[in-house]
Amino acid sequence: MFEAYQKDPNSVDPAWVEYFRKNGMVAGSVSAPASTNAPAGNALPTAPNGGVPPTPKAAAPKPVMSAPQTVNNVAGVPQQAANINAQSAVNTPATAVQPVLNNRNKPEPTPADPQVKPAPVVAAPSSAKVEPLRGVAGRVVQSMEASLSVPTATSVRAVPAKLLIDNRIVINNHLKRTRGGKVSFTHLIAFAMIESIKQMPEMNAFFTELDGKPAVGHPEHINLGIAIDLAKEDGSRQLLVPSIKGCEEMDFGQFWAAYEATVKKARNGALTVEDFAGTTVSLTNPGTIGTVHSVPRLVQGQGLILGVGAMDYPAEFQGSSEETLTKLGISKVVTLTSTYDHRIIQGATSGDFLKRIHEMLLSDEFYDQIFQALRIPYVPIRWAKDVAAEEDIVPKSERVLELINAYRVSGHLMADVDPLEFVMRSHPDLDVGSHGLSLWDLDRTFPTAGFGGKQFMKLREILGVLRNSYCRTVGIEYMYIDNPAEREWIQQMVEVGAPKLPKEEQIHVLRKLNSAEAFETFLQTKFVGQKRFSLEGGEAVIPLLDAMIGAAADRKLDEVCIGMPHRGRLNVLANIAGKPHGQIFQEFEGHYQENQVQGSGDVKYHLGTEGVFTAANGATTKIYLAANPSHLEAVNPVLEGIVRAKQDKLNVKNAYSVMPILLHGDASFAGQGVNMETLQMGQLSGYRTGGTVHIVVNNQVGFTTSPHASRSARYSTDIAKMINAPVFHVNGDDPEACVRVARWAFEYRQAFNKDVVIDLVCYRRRGHNEGDEPSFTQPQMYKLIDAKRTTRTLYAEALVGRGDITAEENDQISKEFQAELEAIYAAVHNVEPESPNWQIPSTAEPQDNVTAVNASVIQEIANTQVAIPEGFTVHPKLLPQLQKRVEMIKDGTIDWGMGEILTYGSLLKDGHPVRIAGQDARRGTFSHRHAVVIDRENGNEWTPLRALTSHDSQFFVVDSLLSEYAAMGFEYGYSTIRPEALVIWEGQFGDFANGAQTIIDEFVSSALQKWGERSSVVLALPHGYEGQGPDHSSARIERYLQLCAEQNMTVVQPTTPAQFFHVMRWHIKNPAKRPMVYFSPKSLLRLKAATSKIEDFTNGSFQKVIDDPTVVNASRVIFCSGRVYYDLIAEREKLQETSTAIVRVELLYPLPAREMAEIAAKHPNANLLWVQDEPANQGPWSFIALRTSEQFGGPGFGGRTLRRVSRRATASPATGNHHLHEDEQKALMQEAFTR
């Protein structure tokens, strides 16, 4: 303005002419304007009178270049100009500070009106180097000069920054833990500015002319210009203002990314003209260099520029201590200025705009959308007024302790454990507001009672530890545990946040994920359409197992045994259990072991293996993966039995150096009752294995069933709470958290020898199998899954994003394993066969063995029954029974109970371990065994037969929990590891064994043919029709015989104690190991007719068929089995019948059909009958008829027909009416002797 006035006074407004004249500013009075090259700090002082400087000693040279002096605004009045002659500064650099000249000797009084002083002028030295401003810098000059024509005004507002600061801390902590990056205050304020403009679109406008008249333009988009200050190589700085286009269409995540991309382009010198074009509003943040308040220039074509000042406490509190500030609840503030084009925006509008930003920065919704856009799964910190704790209510220190306890109890409810669906989690119990606390308490210090290893902590730090421990990608349930020592142990273990793994461990985890993913991808590519029940979506199982078993190897455990379902089994076999990849590929191509043709085999995802696991540090331990059927969870008790047997063989008391790991599905863990049974075994002395680690691979779906339809509980793992087992819920997309949880679980197991549960929340990328279409039933879930990147990809991106590894390192790791798989596939036909332990064995024929024992052994065993320990008080009713056992040896009438004692004792003497387990097994359901005696006075126990053993691991008699399924499965598993042992599972009644039908069908009867798994377990099933009703009469003989084929089992129904003695000793000493089903007696236990002489034990062997030598050339031959023999004998004696031979079949499978035919041949004219007390559709009859018939390959009976005598066919096994039972029994006996 003044420059124009100098050139032509008529060119400016008359008001300005009058103003310049009043202040002595004469047109044309400035002879040498100040140079723009010199900074203001180097200006020469002005003269005291008229603005004329002292006369220089030498004439000043003419400056090379001059620029007009900037006109400054002081209280809204232009500053008076002065005639200033540039003074020469010979040989003085332009940046040198000149001396101050002062001709006044005494101060002058300060006038009432402020004195207007001329602007200082810096002379351009003759040696100055002048550089033209080109390119972007030149356009900035043009823009700044053009901005002088924009009439602007500025609104100012101070905004509390407390909530902004606290939520930014939460945001950046989340980013630091996950993918990296950092959000600045400028990002947040800029986004608040955009959101406010969306509410007030009139702020996004510009002044223009339409047909020569003033007009306002409304841009289609919000294009935000951001001021970027760049440092150049020569130390100078450059200001660039590119713009982010279309901001109103972005969420915060997109805006943040666009903002950072623009800054990156600026720093790399990659900005183009398009980046500067179309800016509609701008933001500048001089607060980053400490400026509190700024009035920036508004560029032509824009209507608004927002200035952001420095964040600091109010000036009056900047000298206060931190304690004072936190106590008083003083927040830092940030000053925002809205500089706007006054032609199109009014002051009230601008003020309202700043108010909107103010409210935005304190609102819940603003931070909610930011957290949601960044996928931060927590509710932001909320704005609230400070609450002072009064003396008559609960002090805040106690509220903080309540808050700590609330996180320990309920923190898992806010944990981010779902890798599929983003949810902003909150819970009233975990809200600081629910405890009378607010954001103003975050920087206040409270006593913690030792929480986090400190006695005092700021609430901010307390919340940080609590959330890092209980609410990140791991949620922990444990506060229901009634042992304080366990709770404290967990707290000390987990309340340290989430320390980052060392780089070498991160790379190892990534390699394991690569192995898992590459394996599945390879099979999917090479064997399209084949079922394999892939682990895709749950690949974190592999690094989790690797970490856990690695910890076991470090602690020198002898072995780790794994039981798991079919999902992911092949991956675990290859990448954990060490099964050769080539062998797995051979199975996909249909190649089998040479001797597998004699068995049926099984699908590849049911097979097991054993080998050696090598940890990353070189430590090793043996590893065993049990074979299993598709019956989910059935393998669980089997594996527990396997582990207990291995521990008993090691015979190191309480060492528990063999660790069981069980993997489950979420639906099956919640739905299958065998899990409850198996969990209940964990702390029982007869079943304890020192703690099992349970890993629930939580796919969040069971085949096609969603969780809401598969359980009533919140978690599939809630069943574990009944045994006080801690539960660690972990997000399957955070492999480092999985590794951390694996180590916690292992250490807990080692510390307390208890079960522990890991709930690995993941997903199933494909359907139930590779041919299934899951989107039919879970369309929304699979829309998420289809768009989701793999766990390996996410983890690799996080490692690279956080700067933990380079992208090149990640690519190299992936290439290495893919090359390895390709090499294995190429050599698949050259792979050596697996260990013989896992080949399908040839069927071995049973062998005859010497089963009799010396009389001295019999006597030694009998003596143990009365070798009562000193001070031990036997129940007075029991003592005679024990004494009678010694007398039996003398009189030669050994009953069933004593026959069992002789059986077990003789095997112990021969070095064979004996384990008997079942409901009431120690006493015996029918009070006949008394293998363990209880002191009547103090409850101490005495096991007489242990006097025959060298150590306690040789003889176990276990009262089982009230279970059939898990209890039988445990004994089956135990028997597979100790084939030299007599392992008996005894049913309370044989009728109840059907509760374990899965174990019978899938393991006992078929495991040898499917998996080559050898077992010698004995199922002792009390059986006999004695009027006790439909549930206490039949062990369902017909069902077991129906399962018999390929020499898979031995089925016996002995009728004397000596027969039991010989068959059990034959069973254990026979090298052809197979399970045995033994239908044990009930009434025969005390039947005098069913006793044996001592000679029957010291001589002879097991008789498959016992002929009747009392009848020659009989007219009727009755074949039978079991207790009905004694009914028939009694009836024959009653009738004084002498022409009927009664033959006992003691071995039902393999059926001695030829022996039966030979006996029948001795009586060529006899009618042949099969008599049973079971109904016609039950019992052995159908099996006997089929196996003896010539028509079906049996030996036949020389043209004669074997006919049945039995009760009529019925749906129920037996009648519940005692009188009807008696009538049926009479009819049965009558028909037997009249046909």
Q: Which residues are catalytic?
A: 342
The pair of three-digit structure tokens given for residue 196, joined into one six-digit string: 């406010």
Q: Which helix (H) or strand (E) holds 254?
A: helix 252-267
Q: How far apart are CA 513 and CA 500, in angstroms?
A: 18
Segments in 395-502 forming alpha helices (H): 396-410, 459-470, 484-494
Q: Please choose, from the candidates 1100, 1155, 1020, the residue with its C-alpha nearest in 3D space to the C-alpha of residue 848.
A: 1100
Q: What is the DSSP letter of 300?
A: T
Q: For residue 665, what is the enclosing H or E element?
A: strand 658-665
Are 206 and 217 in contact, with CB atoms under 8 Å apart? yes
- Residues constituting the chain: 1235
Q: Which two tokens stand for residue 425?
A: 């989690």
- Terminal Cα distance for the chain, rounded: 138
Q: What are phi and psi of 938, to 5 degrees?
A: -125, 0
Q: What torsion, rounded to 10 degrees, do the Cα atoms 194, 196, 202, 203 define?
A: -60
Give the C-alpha separation, 1012 to 842, whole Å.
9
State the Cα–Cα distance between residues 531 and 839, nearest whole angstrom: 22
d(CA 641, CA 633): 14
Distance CA 682, CA 668 (A): 19
User: For residue 70, with 0-12 CB atoms within 10 Å meaning exposed, 13-18 middle and 19 or more buried, which class applies?
Assistant: exposed
CB 1188 within 8 A of CB 1155: no
- Sort 693 into a burial class: Cβ within 10 Å, 0-12 / 13-18 / 19+: buried
Cα(1022)–Cα(931) distance, rounded to whole angstroms? 18
1005 vs 993: CA distance, rounded Å: 14
SS3 705: strand
Q: Which candidate, 1024, 1159, 637, 596, places its Cα nearest to that of 834?
A: 596
Per-residue tokens: 453: 């290893």
Contact 481/724 with Cβ under 8 angstroms? yes
Which amino acid is present at 1013?
A: E
A 10 A CB-CB count for 686 gives 18
Q: Are 353 and 203 in contact (CB under 8 A)?
A: yes
- Beta strands 609-614 and 914-918, pairing class: unpaired
Return d(Cα 766, Cα 785) in angstroms, integer: 9
Cβ partners under 8 Å of residue 652, min gap 6: none
Nearest alpha carbon to residue 817 among 521, 506, 526: 521
Checking DSSP bridges between strand 658-665 and strand 609-614, what pairing results, if any? unpaired
C-alpha torsion angle, residues 181, 182, 186, 191 (rounded to 10): 60
What is the helix, strand, coil percentage profile of the chain, to 5? 40, 15, 45
- What Å distances lie between residue 219 and 144, 146, 175, 202, CA to CA? 22, 20, 34, 10
Q: Which helix (H) or strand (E) holds 1114?
A: none
- What is the rounded CA–CA span in Å between residue 165 and residue 185? 8
- Cβ atoms within 10 Å, residue 881: 16
Cβ count near 965 (within 10 Å) = 24
Element (H, E) at 358: helix 347-360
